[in-house]
Structure 1
């Protein structure tokens, strides 16, 4: 991966990490209903990306399924899960998307994983688990929802590679549109007081919604789709393992979460894995990346 693209991936992970903290505050502390939050976020994104909606990418069924997976599926399930799980538990479970994406990319795209990248993924994932693990970790409904969310995101990323050439903002427009169409009816049915609850949270909640829509979705996710289009899906997915580590660092800075020896050791292991993943490990991936330059 080119250094500039790796730095872009790092910036994406920083934005995602800050949004993880913000989303947890919105749903758990300010009591903004998760489906309403997701629908409004996608509504803002849909309005901003409306000029890129047409012409509709072909085949039509694939872009609609992609929108459902990466909009209505992945995000809605994740935000609902925040009602049951802590931020650290969520950070562990969502990393299941990395091996999921790797396996799906092998089966559906024929991507080949060399031993160095396999080692890097194992180190990065192992380091994240060391950092985030707490005694008493158990499976709950929230965990199952997070696993479902991770699978939706992984399948969507792999299917996006099958779409061929598509502008990232056009893809973002369809993800947002499908998200609004699917999630809004469920919010109206199951969150009857959603607007009142959100208004009660005041201007901070509105500012958080705008940040999630404009910075996290339109900038960070569009940039992520750009990188998915240029590099192997399993490579880009593996680099997202930086997100929970950055989330932990932001928690330490913003809310004084303690950092001990376990965290330092796990972070060192994870970052060594990220470095191995980011390095050019073979001629085939390099050729593919440069071919799209």
Structure 2
């Protein structure tokens, strides 16, 4: 069900991109331009999403000698998940967080902050690493990158459309083939908002799936539940700075927002996630 929901949301996101391209450029040419932009952003996400995400946070590869326990943990869980061992990276910040990136299990990386390494006990850190490996197994890292780039392209085209309206680029008389002014204005203001809502909806859906995958990998859903509570409390005291476009990749909100509407949240609430994890603890082994 989660996979179907994600596919449906990505389809709507792509349709939004093509629609706003139509209103920006007009006619069949606009539709083809939208399709071209969608293809280019998806291709860029495919090849460069891991490098961009790691560079955006200043992540550096960490050697086995520098972090033997972390490497051993990643290797053990990757073997359980039956995926290649991803690259291991460290983020030079005391904020406690982690993320995974890469287009597929063969080109993946897991990044953790110095803060999370120092804060979490071993069983809770294992739950966090298992959560990130679940994202890799499910190819959520690519899905999130594609969603982010399409949403960014929609925002960019909406900005072009806005400039065109300001400078009279679309102020001429409207013929039967021209864009409907009401539809044009609705597209201008609503498409970027809708794209953001859809992108974040995809993120929330994939977080629940990764939590469940982590519980299955470790056999200890309570450890991840405890880690999530610690991470949320830590984020309130020491929020993580960085490009907000990459917040959906993180295991926890960079800055928890108590007043945030669920529609505009990158993650489900921690209480919801903990509740689901503790429900999994009640299920029979192998269920």
TM-score, normalised via structure 2 length: 0.28
Q: Higher strand share goes to which structure?
A: 2
* Structure with higher RCO (Cα < 8 A, 6+ apart): 1
The structure whose residues are more often helix, as a share, is 1
- Select the structure of larger CA radius of gyration: 2
Q: TM-score, normalised by structure 1?
A: 0.28
